Amino acid sequence: MAKTNGGTRMDGAKRIYVADDDGNIRQIIKTFLESDGFEVEDFPTGDLLLQRFLERECDLVILDVMMPGSSGFEVCTELRKTSTVPIIMLTARDSETDYAMGLGLGSDDYITKPFSAMSLVMRVRAIFRRIDFESQKRAAPVAVTAGGLTLDEPARHILRGRVPLSLTPTEYELLKYLMLHAEQAVSREELLNQVWGFGTAVETRATDDTVRRLRQKLDGCGVAIEAVWGYGFRLTADGGKP
Amino acid sequence: MAKTNGGTRMDGAKRIYVADDDGNIRQIIKTFLESDGFEVEDFPTGDLLLQRFLERECDLVILDVMMPGSSGFEVCTELRKTSTVPIIMLTARDSETDYAMGLGLGSDDYITKPFSAMSLVMRVRAIFRRIDFESQKRAAPVAVTAGGLTLDEPARHILRGRVPLSLTPTEYELLKYLMLHAEQAVSREELLNQVWGFGTAVETRATDDTVRRLRQKLDGCGVAIEAVWGYGFRLTADGGKP
DNA sequence: TGATACTGCGGCAGATTTGCGTATTGCCTG
DNA sequence: CAGGCAATACGCAAATCTGCCGCAGTATCA
């Protein structure tokens, strides 16, 4: 047990890069974000962050405006040339000019120091929530089918052939989400966010339980919820093996 | 070119609802947003806004926290029951509690009065930009192929012809990285950083193991992971030798 | 208000994954 | 051609992951 996995070793965890020349601030931000389940890498300069980003992208970037080398603004501009990664700018000043410049250059949010670590975490969460909302939004077809299942959204029914399955609310939401993402691997994190909601404090293992109960009811439906080892689940049409 | 597009669109402007009991503020917000190309409807109370929203949805909602009737928080909660519409909260206070509560309830942003109209417009633009980014991203399917292999990122599958390979998480990540850098020499260090993560404490020889296991599964796939002596590995398409 | 249904959690056992020690084979250099 | 470092091959044991139960707190409904 000599090695800690730098926090949570969850494949679904969002990766965040932080650049700030103040080591204390970096540490605080890192600690808070990690305790919230994010995977964080921090850099003393924006240039280093940029360099790292180019070799490996992340899910969100937090940039201090004033740093040695390239300023946060410059790094932001540079990032935007190749990526749409969400960016949060930090600044000591609170001038409207800075404000407009930051958001104008393509950052998603702009926080002035001093700020509470908690509020930063909230902002981060808000951005990820927005992204998840959008990914969830993708079309709302009245009837989706996967294998031998049919989703009847208005009726809040999922039909096995012609007979509606008897599902509990959680089961229904979960299966619905899987059907809307059939054949795609869905991480436990994602399920938790989409089905249970965001603020909810539930163990990721809860998904396993619901999936387990669902599998029993789905027996011989032409579909299967298979496990994606170390990641989550995937709904697939199995030709129907008895 | 593909950057500016705050709110002006050919296919109908974004519709924004604003609720604030102060008529002056409403007017200012409305004027600024409209001059930026948005379509705005304003309401003196959150209840009226909610009522209007239920009969016709909009693209973004701006809510004052303190209003006669239901508070902004209550309206926010109510909206979130049925919609993922972006919400910006306005408040006179700047307590962390309020802050956390606002974002916690599902709003996207939180602005304290007094605020400049311009900064509000910037926030609004930032949110719409984020949404545009996401919808853009969704429209770009990614299918990389190398030799006889196909990477199906959403499904988290790597197909050998039409059959998905059975890969462990590490194997998947490693092979994916090699496919994205096909025909290029990749150092062990690089692999360690990309696949295992930045600060992980594992010997570089760990890559050898995964590569070894991968080679077995890749036998006769039209590709080969060859060793680059003293450096690392390279994925190459071998014409397919039996 | 009492019966019933849902849900999430802790605990287990079995199955898988994976890094490392160690031995063997292979390539480069002098 | 020999020496030496690098790459492979094995097998193992610890660490993880999954699926499953049973249970208890809570919500739902008659």
**Window 121-180 of A, Cβ < 8 Å to B:** 122-123, 125-127, 129-131, 133-138
Distance from CA of B111 to the nearest CA of A (A): 11
* CATH code, A15-136: 3.40.50.2300
Placement of tokens 């939180």 in the chain = B110
Residue B58 contacts A where some CB pair is shorter than 8 Å: no
Contact flag B155-A183 (C-beta cutoff 8 Å) = yes
* CATH code, B143-237: 1.10.10.10
- Between CA A28 and C1' D15 the distance (Å) reads 30
Contact flag B193-A56 (C-beta cutoff 8 Å) = yes
* pTM for the structure as a whole: 0.79
User: Which of A97, A108, A235 would you mutate first to test chain B, the one with the most B CBs within 10 A?
Assistant: A108
Domain residues of chain B, as ranges?
15-138, 143-237
Per-residue pLDDT of chain B (242 residues; tens, 9 = 90+): 333 333 334 456 899 999 999 999 999 999 999 999 999 999 999 999 999 999 999 999 999 988 888 888 889 988 887 888 999 999 876 666 666 666 667 789 888 877 888 888 989 999 999 999 888 877 766 678 888 899 998 899 999 888 899 999 999 999 999 999 989 999 999 898 888 887 777 888 899 999 999 999 998 888 899 999 989 999 998 754 43
pLDDT number for residue B141: 67
CA distances from B24 to A108, B41, B42, B43 (A): 28, 14, 11, 12
CATH class of B15-138: alpha beta
H helix or E strand, kind and range, residue B27: helix B23-35
Nucleotide nearest to B212 (CA to C1'): D8
Residues 167-226 of chain A within 7 A of strand D, judged by CB, are: 205, 208-209, 211-212, 215, 226
Q: Is it the case that residue A93 has pLDDT exceeding 60?
A: yes
Q: Cβ–Cβ contacts within 10 Å for residue B105, how many? A: 18
Residue A234 contacts B where some CB pair is shorter than 8 Å: yes
Amino acid occupying residue A203: E
Cβ neighbours for A18, distance < 8 A, ≥ 6 positions apart: A26, A29, A30, A33, A40, A41, A42, A43, A49, A61, A62
Residues of chain B contacting residue A86, judged by C-beta atoms under 8 Å apart: 130
Residue A228 contacts B where some CB pair is shorter than 8 Å: yes
pLDDT number for residue B2: 35
Closest in B103, B122, B129 to A99, CB measured:
B122
Q: Three-class SS of residue A12?
A: coil
- Asked if residues B86 and B59 have their Cβ atoms less than 8 Å apart, the reply is yes
